[in-house]
Amino acid sequence: MDSLSIRAILAGLFFGMWPLFMNRSGLNGNMASLAFTLGVLVIVLPFCFSDMGNLLKANWPMIIAAGLAGAIGLLIFNSVLVKSTPVDVGLLFVTMILAQITVPMAYRVIMSGSLSLANGTGFIFAIVAAILLSKG
């Protein structure tokens, strides 16, 4: 397994943990989003100082679009997290992830110009998984 795959797995593990912690924070959705954002800023900012020159070359419309999409998603997701019970949060989290994985796969299909049998089957299995997991 290459280092990018290992990093992707680690990112997935950490992205999988924070919502479970936030569910138990006692904050409402908006305050949970703010607290999360501030926590991320405090941790990430020191790693950015050596790369500040990259901001001048950045594609700002894409940065703004990413920020808007991330902020809206974070606000909505945190409102789900804080209103769900510890028992239901796992299922709601899985539902969000299943919806989330369709976006990059749809992007891949559009960019490649074709839908392979494997990708089509994967989309169907994701829908079936969401239905089966919701029956639990």
Note the pLDDT tens digit of each residue in 13-55.
Answer: 999 899 999 999 999 999 999 999 999 999 999 998 888 888 8
Residue 75's domain comprises 1-83
Same domain, 18 and 76: yes
Query: Looking at residue 136, what is its pLDDT?
Result: 62
Q: How far out from the chain centre does Cα 134 lie?
A: 20
| pLDDT tens-digit readout, 47-96 | 988 888 888 889 999 999 999 999 999 999 999 988 898 888 888 888 88
Q: What is the pLDDT, as a whole number, of residue 128?
A: 87
Same domain, 79 and 29: yes
Domain match, 24 and 63 both: yes
Q: What angle do the packed helices 60-83 and 3-23 form, to 10 degrees?
A: 40
Predicted structure pTM score: 0.79
Number of domains in the chain: 2
Residues 77 and 90 in one domain: no
Domain match, 93 and 70 both: no
Render pLDDT for 91-131 as a digit per residue (tens, 0 to 9).
888 888 888 888 888 888 899 998 889 888 988 888 888 78
